[in-house]
Amino acid sequence: MHAEPLCERPVENGILESAVEYTFLQPAIFFQNYAAAGPTVAQTGVFAEPYSAEQPITRVDNRDVAEVAARCPPQEL
């Protein structure tokens, strides 16, 4: 057992402290979440997000995450 949590997620801590082989994938924002914004963007001509324009944000397609997960052998970080 670690004195301090390795991360804020109890499930991930449990995995880290076990003998189970693992790979964590931590995508940020899925492109599929933008589909609902389409009508508003078409109407207003504005695509607004609650992030600073200077803040780099990672976006990914959920199908790409699934493909990586299927190909990625478990490994410790």
Residue 62 makes CB contacts below 8 A (sequence gap 6+) with 27, 30, 31, 32
Q: Are the CB atoms for 22 and 15 separated by under 8 Å?
A: yes
- State the pLDDT at residue 61: 93
> Hey, what's the torsion of the CAs at 32, 38, 44, 50, to 10 degrees?
-20
Residue ranges of the chain whose pLDDT lies below 50? 1-3
In a domain, 1, yes or no: no
Question: What is the residue range of 39's domain?
Answer: 10-71
What DSSP character marks residue 44? H
Q: Residue 72 and residue 25: Cα distance in Å, rounded?
A: 10
What's the domain count of the chain?
Answer: 1
In a domain, 5, yes or no: no
Tell me the whole-structure pTM to 2 decimals: 0.56
In a domain, 61, yes or no: yes
In a domain, 76, yes or no: no
